[in-house]
Amino acid sequence: MTATGRDAVMVDRDDLGVATIIINRPDRMNALDHSTVCALVEIITEQSLDPDTRVIVLAGEGGAFTTGADLQAIRDGAGSDEAPSPEVTMTSAAELVRAVLTAPVPVIAAVNGPAAGVGVSLALASDLMLMSDDAYLLFAFTNIGLMPDGGASVLLPAAVGRSVASRMLLRGDAVSAEEARDVGLALEVLPSADLRAAAGKLARRLARGPRRALELTKRAVTGATLAELDAALAREHEGQCELLVSDDFAEGVASILEKRRPDFS
């Protein structure tokens, strides 16, 4: 049975205060059901507020970072009274991104394999991103009848500018690790086998720095570049609640579950 909630999240903290938080649903490519999103919010918040934590690393177990919302669970739970409403889904996605952005310590995303949907938002919300050479960012929102969420509508333009962000989001692009590095989204691209070690090395370097200075620097950068975050999340909430109950999304879910790794040629 696929793990869910806190059972789907592993946490390890070393003696320098580097907390590595790993999404552990490899049989679903680390796709996030509602209870796992809630668990991630709780765990990221707990770790970031612990005075012994100095840096957080986000990673995925197996061959994916996270492919975003668990579309299989959405399809299986369609019509069930236990399925979260669109409003609850959007609120939890916003809380996940806020937990990363407001963490008083640097957050590093170690992106191995695909990051899609709210998984892309999670990576973009991180302060630094490392990617394996076989990883990619899949902005598949419009491909399945949705709009960007998890703050992606402001996080991406803030990082790469309006023109590049519009291309990626409107076309539903899959962005290779190399392109992500070239446009400034990824700090470094590494062989898959070296990714976790490289993220750990970067995290330990930051962990040796002055915690308060890093906190205030992160707060200043976030405040200067994401002043429109609240408005963006409100627009995403309104629009996505409409789209999540549309026929286009129902058809998109059925379609995307059959797709394979995108072609970058």
Tokens of 14: 């070393």
pLDDT at residue 256 in the model:
66
pLDDT at residue 259 in the model:
65
How many other C-beta atoms are found inside a 10 Å radius of the C-beta of residue 13?
17
pLDDT at residue 37 in the model:
96
pLDDT at residue 74 in the model:
72
Taking the C-alpha atoms of residue 177 and residue 38, their distance in angstroms, rounded to an integer, is 28
Taking the C-alpha atoms of residue 185 and residue 181, their distance in angstroms, rounded to an integer, is 6
Tokens of 188: 């470094």
Taking the C-alpha atoms of residue 73 and residue 184, their distance in angstroms, rounded to an integer, is 34
Read off the pTM: 0.93
- Spell out the per-residue pLDDT of the chain, length 265, in tens: 789 999 999 999 999 999 999 999 999 999 999 999 999 999 999 999 999 999 999 999 999 999 998 877 776 655 555 678 889 999 999 999 999 999 999 999 999 999 999 999 999 999 999 999 999 999 989 988 999 999 999 999 999 999 999 999 999 999 999 999 999 999 999 999 999 999 999 999 999 999 999 999 999 999 999 999 999 999 999 999 999 999 998 888 777 666 644 444 4
pLDDT at residue 264 in the model:
43
pLDDT at residue 262 in the model:
46
The DSSP line for 193-246 is HHHHHHHHHHHHHHHTS-HHHHHHHHHHHHHHH-TTHHHHHHHHHHHHHHHTTS
| CA nearest neighbour of 105 among 208, 11, 8 | 208
pLDDT at residue 265 in the model:
44
Amino acid at 160: V
